[in-house]
Structure 1
Amino acid sequence: MAQQIELTHTVNESQLGQRLDQAIAELFTDFSRSRLKEWLLEGKVQVDGQVITKPRTKVMGGELITVQAELEDEERWEAQDIALNIVYEDDDIIVINKPRDLVVHPGAGTPDGTVLNGLLFHYPDIAEVPRAGIVHRLDKDTTGLMVVAKTVPAQTRLVRALQKRKITREYEAIAIGRMTAGGMVEKPIGRHSTKRTLMAVTPTGKPAITHYRVAEHFREHTRIRLRLETGRTHQIRVHMSYLQHPLLGDTAYGGRARIPKGASAELTEMIRQFDRQALHAAMLRFEHPVTGEELEFHAPIPDDMVAMTEALRLDTEQFGLEEEF
């Protein structure tokens, strides 16, 4: 039996002038461009209540897009016995501390072996919730906290809270270069013009806001804390690269190794061998979607980032910081 789905989203003002097929591809990222275009051509896409079947139709921003379609059973995801680190659980929500090397949601190149597949195994009833209750994502190699809804009402309320920026997400990171002060990046993020798997700051992108503050200075790196107002794909990584302070280990966004002058052989090797973006979702705070109680969770910094921080700190104590600090 096919699964009926209904998707709704308002076109962003920044998408003014985009073709409809491009706009829905940016709005509904859980589905491939080809599938969305197929649904569009089949008359399953409405713009402000009117069925539109022409992909080249231009959007102005502010329109309500509704997609009513079907997913065949064979397109649904498989339950797999994947270990999940559960930080908190009740009848309505689950909070997970995600390890590195684990993708959150199946997609191109990763058909299974994800958090979603694990959720379906451990919580079979979650199959009735869209996207198995996943409300927000973390990149494959980003560690830390994410909340999952066990029921449709809980998911609806959490998604609404996320859209209204009522869920607080704080991250710990190690950036390349010496940052003198904190601040805010407010730059739109969209698909990279030539590297289709990457994102970039672009005028046609979705609004994105990242706050950051300096937590600790090292000789050629900076430990920072970041808070997201929006949740765009790769947001922190893109914004830090835009500031010319990409994250340590993030080769996709320009995080080439920078070795402090005179650094020990051990530190040099650690920096060169650090093989993921140094980014961890350390704190999550939100109102419970059913009880309204304020909940706050903290996930300890993972061992690889702790070891790197300690090594950079030792190096800085040995050589000292330059005058500008």
Structure 2
Amino acid sequence: MSQNIQLQGEVEVHQMGQRLDLTLAELFSDYSRSRIKEWILTGQVTVDGEVVDKPRVKVVAGQRLSIDAVIEEEVRSAAENIELDIVYEDEHILVINKPAGLVVHPGAGNADGTVLNALLHHVPDIDTVPRAGIVHRLDKETTGLMVVAKTVPAQTHLVTALQAREITREYEAICNGLMTAGGLVDQPIGRHPTKRTHMAVVVNGKPAVTHYRVAEKFRAHTRLRLRLESGRTHQIRVHMAHIKHPLVGDPVYGGRPRPLKRAEESLREQLKGFKRQALHAAMLELAHPITGEVMQWHAPIPQDMTQLTEALRADAKANPLDY
């Protein structure tokens, strides 16, 4: 499936002498500069009716610029009838509440059965949008809110907003150890130097900032609310492990859990059997990519984290002198 794009505009006085690709990006801001550059290089742009295939060409005021392009199908994955928990949907975007165990994008070991496959079934035209409209990801075992773009203009605006840190994402987590106060972790994240499937705090990594505050204290665990300034792979999990407070159940960064003294056997078993990182994307706020309206959504804490919180709360009440 493909989509035809036809756009026309005129070079304004203040744009005189600019590069063609920059001018087009200003005139047609619904599309990324990289996409526009690709259209120029493939001969899909004309200046006063003549094809121009060099992005660096300087423009002159009054010139007529036209784009007659085709957006080819971006996705080769198959559509699958996988149920999505849709929190919000209109003609431009949709917001889903992802369950644990659902992979967002096909990859090694997960060729199908993903959010992307489900989106292709729910919105067939989304195959013309980069990455099937997926703007940001959640790890397989992380639950919560994700926004998806249904059109190229919506996707372009959402990616720009995400890069400009204009999208707010707030997470709920349960970490090991008793934390006394909130704070922030400002440490670069990159590939682990020896474990290539893991991430780590590394000197030459990409900048990453995680804000956290204490929501509730237990005897040897803490419930946190966290906000991201950046969106690096495994960011919260890596940052919390870096400050010696890994997330409960994290199979990669959690380390060996310490037994909780004088705890009921049921709580011990619950902690031992919590096999995923206790992390949930609870709140998402953004300006709608087309209307500009500020919108906010909340996703209820999943049952496994709620049950663990209640058990830790009961344990703390039964042992009031231990924290």
Q: TM-score, normalised by structure 2?
A: 0.77
CA contact (8 A) 2:287 2:294 kept: yes
Is residue 212 of structure 2 the alignment partner of residue 240 of structure 1? Answer: no
Q: CA deviation at 1:72?
A: 9.5
Alignment partners' CA distance in 1, 2:218 and 2:321: 7
The structure with more radius of gyration:
2
Residue in 1 that maps onto 2:214: 214
SS at match of 2:252: helix
Tell me what 2:65 maps to.
Answer: none
Counterpart for residue 200 of structure 2: 200
Q: Is the 8 A contact 1:176 1:255 kept in 2?
A: no
Q: Which residue of 2 aligns with 1:180?
A: 180
What is aligned with 1:22? none
Q: Percent identity?
A: 67
Aligned to 2:89: 89
Aligned partner of 1:35 in structure 2 is: none
Post-superposition Cα deviations, 1:138-193, rounded to whole Å, max 9, x if no partner, equal 00000000000000000000000000000000000000011111000000000111
C-alpha distance after superposition, 1:232-288 (max 9, x if no partner): 000000000000100000020034323321100100110000010000000000000
Equivalent position of 2:160 in the other structure = 160
Unaligned 5+ residue runs, structure 1?
4-48, 51-69
Distance 1:248 1:287, change over 3 A: same
Query: Aligned partners of 2:127 and 2:120: how far apart in 1?
Result: 6
Tell me, what secondary structure is at the counterpart of 1:251?
A: coil
Partner of 2:135: 135
Question: How many aligned residue pairs are there?
Answer: 258
Correspondence for 1:273: 273
Q: What is the aligned-residue RMSD (CA, Å)? A: 2.0
Name 2:21's counterpart in structure 1: none
CA contact (8 A) 2:73 2:127 kept: no
Listed one character per residue, the Cα deviations across residues 75-95 of structure 1 (whole Å, up to 9, x for unaligned) are: 711111111100000010000
2: CA distance, partners of 1:248 / 1:256: 10
Structure 1 match to 2:297: 297
Query: How far off is 1:2 after superposition?
Result: 10
Instruction: Determine the structure 2 residue equivalent to 1:252.
Output: 252
Asked whether the 8 Å contact 2:282–2:300 carries over to 1, the reply is: yes
The answer to whether the Cα contact below 8 Å between 2:80 and 2:121 also exists between their aligned partners in 1 is yes
Q: Give the Cα–Cα distance (whole angstroms) in 1 for the partners of residues 89 and 161 of structure 2.
A: 19
Q: For residues 63-74 of structure 1, what are the structure 2 equivalents within 5 Å? A: none
Measured at CA, do residues 81 and 72 of structure 1 come closer, stay the same or move farther in structure 2, by a change above 3 Å? closer
Shift of 1:209: 0.3
SS of the residue aligned with 2:145? strand
Give the whole-Å Cα distance in 2 for the aligned partners of 1:230 and 1:239.
12
Cα deviation for residue 111 of structure 1 reads: 1.1
Alignment check: 8 A CA contact 1:210 1:228 kept: yes
Show structure 1 runs of 4+ deviating over 4 A: 70-73
Letter in 2 for 1:234: H
Corresponding letter in the other structure for 2:98: K
Query: Are 1:248 and 1:255, in contact at CA under 8 Å, matched by a contact in 2?
Result: no
The residue number in structure 1 matching 2:286 is 286
Distance 1:197 1:147 in 2: 26
Indicate if the aligned counterparts of 1:259 and 1:271 stay in contact, CA closer than 8 A: no
**Which 10-residue stretch deviates more, 95-104 or 246-255?**
246-255
Could you tell me how far apart the structure 1 residues matched to 2:176 and 2:321 are?
A: 15
Contact 1:220 1:258 in 2 (8 A): no
Compute the displacement of 1:108 (Å).
1.5
